[in-house]
């Protein structure tokens, strides 16, 4: 009986049913590993969905089902790491990572809802809307893995799509949210399918008459340099970076630049930057999900001056804390505002504030509530 249940879980119809149930329960990620049960991350916690453990043959069959490329399926037994996207009709789309562990397959799936999120639905600060409406500049959306960066970027693109008349080119790995052409023309390119790498796709995008370029992941010096060039030449560039807060984001970008070009690169970055939106997800007060705490830096003249001087980087947090009129806020201010709105518990707020003050480069900034509505981000 147990063997029959496990076989059903690993079959196509059984897997689809489990995935559907997980999505209905609000799962953000699903884990399938040989020797373990199906697991899903729900409200930030990894919980079991089944009782029977999967076999290596079952996880191999699941991997084959999820990989759409015939070429990749043909070399399934030599794959070590593979990224792709997959859709289940009526349920959603998924970002899929197939990997090897202990010589067998494991699959991790990130849930991507069919509906593109909006800035209002995500309850992002008003300044994010104004940042998305900028004509040019570099916008970095940052956070650790699973912090909602993709949703925030998608909401910004959706806002542009509804309110502007522009050509938006995205370079993603894989494509996550699918954008329909509304007022804009949206060109979505997938690394490994439509273009070779992020840097190759980004260089090509600059020859495709774009107004806005979206980079799914900015990790290497070449991509960062090309992104800065794109912003310098009059494009709005929105890119994701896996850094925890504003200060570490600035440090990461500068450190990635070649040493001999670092000082010039610092100046170029300071002039090209439009804003940094750093976020973390916190458990909601009613335990029904998670809410985003946002740290936001807008590139005002004061901020640009600090970015150009390594000795003044520590002053960025104080500048954010004082920059409410420009739409800026620190994590501590965001957490205080969430607590004041009863969206998180006092215990969550205390833990999040301690974590924020322990972040690299953190200073003792009072956690006064951030402005809720009406704040406007200053033009660069």
How do residues 67-86 score in pLDDT, each as one tens digit? 988 888 999 999 899 988 89
CATH number of 126-357: 3.40.50.300
Q: How confident is the model at residue 366 (pLDDT cuts 50, 70, 90)?
A: very low
- Residue 228: predicted pLDDT: 96
pLDDT-derived band of residue 365, with 50, 70 and 90 as boundaries? Answer: very low
Model pTM greater than 0.85? no
How many residues are given for the chain?
380
Closest listed residue to residue 275, CA positions, set 236, 223, 220: 236
Q: Give the pLDDT band (50/70/90) at residue 63.
A: very high
Contact 254, 269 (CB under 8 A): yes
Report the distance separating Cα 34 and Cα 217, nearest Å: 29
Percentage of the chain exceeding pLDDT 90? 77
Q: Which two tokens stand for residue 368?
A: 């006064």
What is the tens place of the pLDDT at every residue in 294-342?
A: 999 999 999 999 999 999 999 999 999 999 999 999 999 999 999 999 9
Instruction: Tell me the average pLDDT across 258-276.
Output: 95
| Residue whose structure tokens are 């593109």 | 116
Distance CA 17, CA 1 (A): 19
Cis peptide bond upstream of 283, omega within 30: no
pLDDT value for 380: 44
Q: How high is the pLDDT of residue 289?
A: 87
* Residues near 312 by beta carbon (within 8 Å), at least 6 away in sequence: 305, 306
Tell me the β-bridge partners of 293.
280
328/275 Cα distance (integer angstroms): 9
Residues of the chain with CATH 3.30.450.90: 2-112
The confidence band for 379, taking pLDDT boundaries of 50, 70 and 90, is very low
The pLDDT of residue 343 is 96
196-235 pLDDT, tens per residue? 999 999 999 999 999 999 999 998 899 999 999 999 999 9
The pLDDT mean for the chain works out to: 90
Residue that has been written with the tokens 């804009």 in this structure: 184
For residue range 136-187, list pLDDT tens digits in order.
Answer: 999 999 999 889 999 999 999 999 999 999 999 999 998 989 999 999 999 9
From residue 230, alpha-carbon distances to 25, 211, 277, 287 in Å are 41, 10, 19, 42
- List, by residue range, all CATH 3.40.50.300 domains of the chain: 126-357
* Residue range 2-112, CATH number: 3.30.450.90
**pLDDT range class, residue 359, cuts 50, 70, 90:** low
């Amino acid at each position: 009986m147990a063997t029959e249940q496990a076989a059903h879980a690993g079959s196509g119809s059984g897997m689809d049913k489990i995935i559907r149930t997980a999505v209905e329960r609000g799962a953000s990620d699903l884990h399938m590993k040989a020797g373990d049960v199906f697991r899903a991350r729900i409200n930030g916690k990894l919980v079991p969905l089944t009782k029977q453990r999967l076999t290596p043959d079952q996880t191999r069959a699941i991997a084959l089902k999820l990989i759409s490329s015939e070429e990749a399926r043909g070399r399934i037994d030599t794959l070590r790491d593979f990224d792709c996207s997959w859709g289940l009709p009526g349920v959603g789309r998924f970002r899929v990572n197939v990997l090897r562990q202990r010589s067998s397959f494991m699959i991790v799936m990130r849930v991507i809802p069919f509906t593109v999120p909006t800035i209002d639905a995500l309850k992002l600060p008003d300044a994010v809307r104004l940042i998305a409406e900028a004509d040019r500049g570099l916008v970095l959306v940052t956070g650790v893995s699973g912090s909602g960066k993709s949703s925030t970027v998608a909401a910004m693109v959706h806002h542009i799509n509804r309110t502007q008349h522009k050509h938006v080119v995205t370079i993603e790995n894989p494509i996550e949210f699918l954008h329909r052409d509304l007022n804009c023309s949206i060109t979505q390119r997938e690394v490994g399918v439509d273009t070779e790498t992020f840097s190759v796709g980004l260089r090509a995008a600059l020859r495709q008459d774009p107004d806005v370029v979206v980079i799914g992941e900015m990790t290497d010096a070449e991509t960062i340099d090309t992104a800065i060039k794109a912003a310098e030449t009059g494009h709005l560039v929105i890119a994701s970076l896996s850094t925890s807060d504003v200060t570490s984001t600035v440090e990461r970008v500068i450190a990635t630049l070649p040493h001999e070009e670092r000082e010039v690169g610092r100046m170029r970055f300071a002039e090209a930057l439009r804003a940094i939106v750093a976020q973390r997800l916190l458990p909601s007060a009613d335990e029904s999900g998670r809410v985003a705490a946002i740290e936001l830096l807008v590139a005002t003249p004061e901020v640009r001056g600090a970015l150009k001087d390594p000795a003044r980087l520590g002053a960025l947090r104080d500048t954010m804390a004082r920059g409410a009129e420009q739409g800026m806020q620190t994590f501590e201010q965001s957490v205080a505002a969430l607590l004041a709105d009863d969206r998180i518990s006092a215990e969550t707020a205390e833990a999040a504030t301690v974590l924020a003050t322990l972040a690299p480069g953190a200073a003792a900034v009072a956690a006064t509530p951030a402005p809720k509505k009406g704040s406007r981000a200053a033009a660069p």
